[in-house]
Amino acid sequence: GYIIVERWGGLLARSVQTFVTIWSEVSKGQIVGRILLGSHASITLPQHVIISAKVGDHVIAGETIIAYL
């Protein structure tokens, strides 16, 4: 299934960087972007995945496991 990542810049410092393009295939652990200074992201996953992260968790790109496909 597809994984959708939506990112929003903060009100003061719109600090969102994207390292992939729309419809890109990504590898396990690949960094797809960078979010700083009050910005945030939402991730939409297929129903069959097992989610390991909780709402409000601080995640680190390439280190934190968010879900198991």
The active-site residue, picked from 15, 24, 39, 42, is 39
Q: What string of DSSP letters covers 9-46? A: --SS---EEE-S-TT----TT---EEE-TT-EEEEE--
Q: Is 15 a catalytic residue?
A: no
CA neighbor of 66 nearest in space, from 51, 56, 44: 51
Distance CA 1, CA 44 (A): 11
**Positions marked active-site:** 39
